[in-house]
């Protein structure tokens, strides 16, 4: 059985100086990454839901991971990216609607950086929170 692609070809989104096709695919909208902080958002679509019709946990983890890495990368000149060393996520309530994800650099290092991020729903409630460490890719 042959299927046709569901996405049209478009110009890749700039994710703070990087092209990240997966983030384009899931519809991430970058807002800012500067001075050790970042913010991104995504408007949930049915394709991003789990069987309970709320955001899939893997989506939430992806958003938290990128927000933390972007916050850390914003403090390093000429960084090619951040490599996730570890990440711990706490899910506090279902994530629905438009999600805002804010990342923050907690401790900068020459190689390893420590960050946190949280997902906020449309009414400003925290739906998930993460802590992570990231290695600078030069």
Q: What is the pLDDT of residues 85-131, one digit of tens each?
A: 999 999 999 999 999 999 999 999 999 999 999 999 999 999 999 99
Q: Is 88 helix (H, G, I), strand (E, B) or coil?
A: strand
Rounded to whole angstroms, the Cα distance separating 135 from 138 reads 10
Tell me, yes or no, whether 42 lies in a domain: yes
Q: List, in sequence order, the alpha helices (H) in the chain.
A: 21-26, 57-73
Task: Count the domains in the chain.
Answer: 1
Over range 77-89, report the average pLDDT: 92
Token readout for 117 is 């991020």
- Give pLDDT, residue 13: 85
Cα–Cα distance measured from residue 48 to residue 63, given in angstroms and rounded to the nearest whole number: 12
Whole domain around residue 80: which residue ranges?
21-137
Q: In whole angstroms, what is the distance from residue 54 CA to residue 50 CA?
A: 6
Task: Let me know if residue 12 belongs to a domain.
Answer: no
Q: Which residue has the tokens 């991020």?
A: 117
Q: Which residue has the higher pLDDT, 39 or 5?
A: 39
Q: Do the domain assignments include residue 37?
A: yes
User: Residue 125 is part of a domain; what is its CATH number?
Assistant: 3.10.129.10
Residue pair 105/74 in contact by the 8 Å Cβ criterion: yes
Please count the other Cβ atoms lying within 10 Å of the Cβ belonging to residue 108.
Answer: 14
The pTM assigned to this predicted structure is 0.90
Confidence of residue 8 (pLDDT cuts 50, 70, 90): low
Confidence at residue 26, expressed as pLDDT on a 0 to 100 scale: 96
Inter-residue long-range contacts of 50-57, CB under 8 Å, 24+ positions, other chains counted:
52/94, 54/94, 54/95, 54/96, 55/94, 55/95, 55/96, 55/99, 55/127, 57/91
Residue 8 lies in a domain: no
pLDDT at 9: 53
């Amino acid at each position: 059985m042959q299927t046709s692609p569901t996405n049209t070809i478009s110009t890749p989104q700039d994710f703070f100086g990087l092209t990240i096709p997966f983030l384009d695919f899931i519809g991430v909208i970058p807002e800012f990454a500067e001075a050790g902080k970042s913010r991104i958002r995504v408007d949930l679509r049915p394709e991003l839901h789990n069987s309970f019709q709320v955001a899939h946990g893997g989506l939430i983890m992806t958003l938290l991971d990128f927000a933390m890495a972007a916050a850390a990368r914003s403090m390093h000149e000429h960084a090619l990216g951040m490599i996730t060393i570890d990440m711990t996520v706490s899910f506090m309530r279902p994530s629905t609607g438009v999600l805002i994800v804010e990342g923050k650099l907690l401790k900068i290092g020459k190689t390893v950086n420590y960050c946190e991020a949280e997902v906020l729903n449309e009414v400003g409630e925290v739906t998930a929170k993460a802590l992570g460490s990231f290695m600078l890719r030069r």
